Amino acid sequence: MPEQARVIAGRYELAAPISRGGMGEVWRGYDTVLDRDIAVKLIRPQLLMVDEEREELVGRFRREARVMAKVEHPGVPAVYDAAFDDGSNQLFIVMQLIHGPSLSDVLAEETRLVPSWAASVAAQICSVLSYAHAVPVVHRDLKPGNIMLARGGVVKVLDFGIAALLRSDVTKLTSTGRVMGTKPYMSPEQIQNLPVTPQTDLYALGCLLHEMLSGQRVFDATEEIALMYQHLEKPPTPLRELEAGIPADLERLVLDLLAKNASDRPESAWAAYDRLVPLLPPADSLASDTEQPAGVIPDPTRPFRRPAAPRPRPSMLTRDVAALPAIPEIDLDEVDEALSEAERLVDEERFTQASEMLCDLLPRASASFGSDSEQALDLRISYAAALYLGGDYRKAAPEFEALAKTYTLDGNDTEESLDYRRQAVACRVALGELDAAIPELESIVRAQHRIDAYGRDYLSLRLDLARLRVSAGDPEQAVQELWPLYEDAVRILTPSDELSVEIDEMFRRLRATRGR
């Protein structure tokens, strides 16, 4: 008799392993309910940590999977399920099964790709990233093993959900937990445990392009410390010194993507895509387009001969207020019921439903009670929180900023206004908008000093500001601010307090990496 298949969650049969990595393993599987082949990613049980922390991790895992599922793009495998199976003590993700080789397999066979192929792969990755960064989701772990060439030459970017799984909690401005990424493709800000932004993914894209075009990694130290140092300090070798036939514009793009400071890289995936367009094959609907036999590497130029493009750039849409229908009134009981229902939906992590319901009610509450009434404000606070928890930072940021203005009294910040300003900054950081986040956080630090210059919040805000300065390419200013911050932390707290230790470690790391 054949060996009985292992079953997860009572429905997903595991047929055979596909790959293994640091996060876990991927299996080819079968969904017995929907009668289809699937891929199942099993997270290593060790990553669930101790029992007291498991519930938090599982809850965060589910939230991240929901955010990741919002990345609707043909280049992202569909996520069918994400849960914790109590029977096997296993955290898992069920995904669309992709047929085709990984980029690591292609490079192992071909060594390097011709420029038109490399540009086509990179352009498709940019297209995926444009959708992801608009959510916003930062991948954090782009590498050849996470890129697949599916049938028809369509590039698939894998493991968005896995990369987001172990990131720092969304309520914090900075990454103070596990350093995510694969070190040959890890950005300087990840190595320094600084906030990640969309530019973090662009650095990894530069590493991928360099490897596709030259057949070798941009940095090749075998020891981990030496490799990290190269990413932080060593200039990359220009591609045309390795392969003379590479177009100059492509070499320049790779060097820009590999800039040590995130602020010196292209401003977005859209910008990188625009620079790749002249290097892509022209559209040709009359070109031969027969299906390739099994075992042949799919041609990544095909989607451009039958054109593809990234997500449309964000734009500010305005509504014709005069054309809107009359707004029906709402009473106090309806407001109370709505708040209770929103709380229930949030507790069940149904954030999109909660935010949509509250958004529909807000105009009615404002019309009935006034935009700054207690009823309208309660709904606005719940709405902003639902957006934030659901990962919709682009909508949450202006909501928190508006709340902060509402709770400012006579031009002076209150504890409530500062809380909302901090939440807005967290949104801006998640969106990669450091130019807006830094001056706002500077203002918040000054305001917090006026309210309580001896509290932990004030010290934490100053550390957050130093991290953002490094991410924005200003480590010198961060170093100047960290030492007096450490002295204040030791005086207000203790030298052994975890915040004092964290400040000291960051100061020493920055000094060491800058050769002081």
Which of residues 48, 65, 95 is at a domain's end? 95
Amino acid 307: pLDDT: 57
How far is it, in rounded angstroms, from Cα 212 to Cα 149?
13
**Does the structure show a pLDDT above 80 at 292?**
no
**Please, which residues have CB within 8 angstroms of residue 512's CB and are 6 or more apart in sequence?**
none
> Domains in the chain: how many in total?
3
State which of 139-148, 170-179, 282-291 shows the largest mean pLDDT: 139-148
Average pLDDT of the chain, as a whole number = 84
CB 485 within 8 A of CB 466: yes
What is the structure's pLDDT at 511? 83
CA 271, CA 198: separation in Å to the nearest integer? 12
Catalytic residue chosen out of the listed positions 141, 159, 201, 392: 141
In this structure, are 205 and 112 located in the same domain? Answer: yes
Band of the pLDDT at 173, cuts 50, 70, 90?
A: very low
User: What's the pLDDT band for 66 if we cut at 50, 70, 90?
Assistant: confident
Residues 69 and 209 in one domain: no
pLDDT of residue 103: 95
Which of 81-95, 124-138, 241-255 shows the lowest per-residue confidence on average (mean pLDDT)? 81-95
Q: For the ranges 251-255, 284-288, 339-343, 416-420, which has the lowest average pLDDT?
A: 284-288
Report how far apart, in Å, the C-alpha atoms of 493 and of each of 99, 285, 417, 456, 482 are. 56, 68, 26, 8, 15
Tell me the C-alpha distance between 386 and 350, whole Å.
9
141 is catalytic: yes
340 lies in a domain?
no
Antiparallel, parallel or unpaired: β 6-8 and 79-85: unpaired
Residue 48's pLDDT band, with cuts at 50, 70 and 90, is low
Domain of residue 270: give its range: 103-285+296-305
d(CA 310, CA 127): 4
Query: Would you say residue 350 lies in a domain?
Result: no
Q: What is the mean pLDDT of residues 44-53?
A: 58
CB 421 within 8 A of CB 438: no
CATH number for the domain spanning 21: value is 3.30.200.20
pLDDT in tens, 212-227: 999 999 998 888 889 9
CA distance 382 to 354: 9
Task: Among 274, 305, 336, identify where a domain stops.
Answer: 305
Same domain, 68 and 141: no
Assign 153 a pLDDT band (cuts: 50, 70, 90).
confident
User: Do residues 406 and 391 make contact, with C-beta atoms less than 8 angstroms apart?
Assistant: no
Q: How far is the CA of 298 from the CAs of 121, 126, 155, 236, 239, in angstroms?
A: 11, 19, 9, 30, 25
Q: Among 95, 114, 149, where does a domain finish?
A: 95
**Residue 276 resides in a domain:** yes
- Whether residue 42 is found in the same domain as residue 165: no
Q: Sign (positive/negative) of CA torsion 477, 483, 486, 491?
A: negative
Q: Which of 22, 300, 369, 416 is nearest to 182 (CA)?
A: 22
* Range of weakest confidence among 146-155, 304-313, 345-354: 304-313
- Give the count of beta carbons closer than 10 Å to the beta carbon of residue 86: 8
What pLDDT is recorded for position 238? 96
| Averaged pLDDT for residues 103-121 | 93
Q: To 10 degrees, the CA torsion angle through 467, 470, 474, 475?
A: 100
| Helix ranges restricted to H, 215-312 | 224-233, 248-257, 269-276, 302-305
Q: How confident is the model at residue 171 (pLDDT cuts 50, 70, 90)?
A: very low
